[in-house]
A = this chain, B = another copy of it.
Amino acid sequence: MPLALDPAAQDLLFREARTANAFTDEPVPEDLIEAVYDLVKYGPTSMNQQPLRIVLVRSVEARTRLVPHLSEGNRKKTAGAPLVAILAADNEFHEELPSQFPHLPGARNLFAERAIREESARLNALLQVGYFIIGVRAAGLAAGPMTGFDAGGVEKEFFADGDHSVLVVVNIGKPGENAWFARSPRLAYDQVVSTV
C-alpha cells in the first residue's frame, strides 16, 4: 500500500540513507544545521517539553576534549568527521514550560521532582534525537550516530552545570570512501508487530 510521502523522499530519509563511518572534508555550514533544527523542532514531545540540547563540536580544541571519552572503535570516525553534534537532555527543561506550554499554566510544577523530570527529559529528548537524525538526512548529509562513549566524562567536559544527560553523539558530513558496511538485515514485520 503506497505512502503519501513520495518515493524519492522515502529513499533520502530511510531506504538509501546509511550510517556513515567515514566522511569527506567538505565543511557543514552552520546555516544548514539551523535549517535542520528549524524543521525538526516541530516533532512532537510530551507537553511540548523539547528537552533536546545540541552542542556542535567544531574547534580543534573541543574535538580534542571529546575524542578521549569515546569508545576506541568510535574515535577515528569522530576525528575524521567535519562536524560532530553532542545530543543531550536538559534536565531543567521544565523552566521553559510557562512559555512553551502556556495552555496549562501549572505544567512546570508537575516536574518539581528531579527524578521525574530526568526520566521525562530522557524519553522526550530521545524522540527528538530520532527526529534530528532524520533531519540531518533531509539536509542531504549523512549521520553517524554513536552510543559508545563515557557519558559522565562527556557531561563533565561539555555540560559543567550538572543538569544535562548526554544521550547520543552524531558524526555529520558527506560520506567518504568506504563510508559504510553492507546493509545489515532488518526484522520482519511479523517479528515486530502483532495485532490484538
Q: Are A194 and B1 in contact (CB under 8 A)?
A: no
Minimum CB–CB distance for A115 against chain B, Å: 15
A136 to B2, CA, bound (A): 12
A178 at the interface (CB under 8 A from B): no
Q: Are A43 and B130 in contact (CB under 8 A)?
A: yes
Choose one: B3, B9, B130, B191; the contact of A130 (CB below 8 Å): B130
* Contact residues of A between 21 and 53, Cβ < 8 Å to B: 29-44, 46, 48, 50, 52-53
Q: Are A193 and B54 in contact (CB under 8 A)?
A: yes
Choose one: B14, B41, B55, B102; the contact of A196 (CB below 8 Å): B55
Q: Are B134 and A134 in contact (CB under 8 A)?
A: yes
* Contact residues of A between 67 and 119, Cβ < 8 Å to B: 96, 99-103
Q: Are A131 and B134 in contact (CB under 8 A)?
A: yes
A156 to B8, CA, bound (A): 41
* Contact residues of A between 108 and 142, Cβ < 8 Å to B: 120, 123-124, 126-131, 133-134, 137-140
Minimum CB–CB distance for A98 against chain B, Å: 11
Choose one: B148, B189, B196; the contact of A57 (CB below 8 Å): B196
A12 at the interface (CB under 8 A from B): yes
CB-defined A-B contacts under 8 Å, sample of 18? A1-B35, A5-B138, A6-B6, A10-B138, A14-B40, A30-B195, A33-B193, A37-B193, A43-B133, A44-B143, A46-B145, A46-B148, A102-B184, A123-B147, A127-B168, A128-B130, A130-B130, A130-B131
Contacts A3-B32, A134-B134 known; 10 new A-B pairs at CB < 8 A: A3-B35, A3-B39, A3-B140, A6-B6, A6-B8, A30-B195, A46-B145, A54-B192, A96-B187, A96-B191
